[in-house]
Amino acid sequence: MNIDNIEAFVHVIHFNSFNKAADALFLSQPSVTARIQSLERELDAKLFERMGKQFTLTEKGKLFLPYAQQILQSYKKGKQQIKYQKTMQELRIGCTVSVSNYILPIIVPSLKQHYPDLRFKLVTAPSETVVKLVQDKDIDIGLVRNITHPLLDSFLFYEDEIGLYANAEHPFATKTDVSMEDVRQEPLVFFECGSIDWMRLHRMFETLDRPPVIDYEVDNQETAKKLVQAGMGIGFLPKLCVREEVKSGLLVPVPVKSLGIQTLRTNLIALKGEQPGLTRLLLELSKKI
């Protein structure tokens, strides 16, 4: 099916005029008419009822219209994406430290496969700074904690489950379940990133008669993880950051049934209406994490 014929059909309806459609398409009016007639032959259906210079859509024309609009929109998006892939030379990504350490090393190789000639510029900063960089067009996309902004498109990119972890030699390492009261009595390494996700964990401690003993409060996952690994205490950490240590047996997940499911959410942000193709690709790649 000829896309030019579909474009002529949609333009005639949009402008409610063959002449205006011709002007918009930089064609003569007879050329637009010829394209409509060609489309009618392709569909084996009459699309317009003509009465002199006046016309109306037939029932079959009304039936075909939404499909024609969808075909035209898909074609334009595909064309834009091909153009974008050809012209994009550098991708500027801003992200938090945890994303830089644990997520980007997973998705960047796949991005490189899709854009082999692309250069990458990575900026690590707090979520608020990344938001500002996206707004100012200093970076193309951001990967930040769960955040919303009226000028930005924001999509849930990855949800990382928060769990309790202990050194392999810790008594909790062989337990099948521990209570929050048990946790309260142990030295605690607390990774604090200041997000709403961690506030939920704080509220769980507030239900205890006495607060836990937080021996180490740090704002860096790597530091918290290494302190737990060194046996300095137990700690609540995102699953992704301890994946390799658990696999190698250096850290052990401690089941706390009363904890429920707590997660740390990462959102993908971009200026509204921009980077649609790249956003779709990244959201698809996030499933591989």
For the chain, give the mean pLDDT.
Answer: 88
- Identify the CATH number of the domain defined by range 90-158+266-288: 3.40.190.10
Distant-in-sequence contacts of 99-108, Cβ < 8 A, 24+ apart: 99/143, 99/144, 99/266, 100/124, 101/221, 101/222, 101/241, 102/238, 102/240, 102/241, 102/243, 103/143, 103/158, 103/240, 103/266, 103/289, 104/143, 106/288, 106/289, 107/282, 107/285, 107/286, 107/288, 107/289
CATH fold match for the domains 3-87 and 90-158+266-288:
no
pTM above 0.75, yes or no: no
**Roughly how many angstroms between the first and final C-alpha of the chain, as a whole number?**
40
Q: Which range is least confidently modeled, 71-80, 91-100, 163-172, 245-254?
A: 71-80
Q: Mean pLDDT throughout 123-136?
A: 93
Angle, helices 276-285 vs 59-87, to 10°: value is: 80
| CATH superfamily ID and name for 159-264 | Periplasmic binding protein-like II (3.40.190.10)
Per-residue model confidence as pLDDT tens digits over 141-155? 999 988 778 889 999
Cβ atoms 188, 234 nearer than 8 A = yes
For the chain, what are the domain ranges?
3-87, 90-158+266-288, 159-264
Task: Grade residue 211 by pLDDT with cuts at 50, 70 and 90.
Answer: confident
Q: Residue 257: is its pLDDT beyond 60? A: yes
Q: Residue 86: is its pLDDT beyond 60? A: no
Q: Mean pLDDT throughout 183-199?
A: 74
Q: Which helix (H) or strand (E) holds 231?
A: none
Q: Mean pLDDT throughout 39-46?
A: 92
Q: Which CATH architecture has domain 3-87?
A: Orthogonal Bundle (1.10)
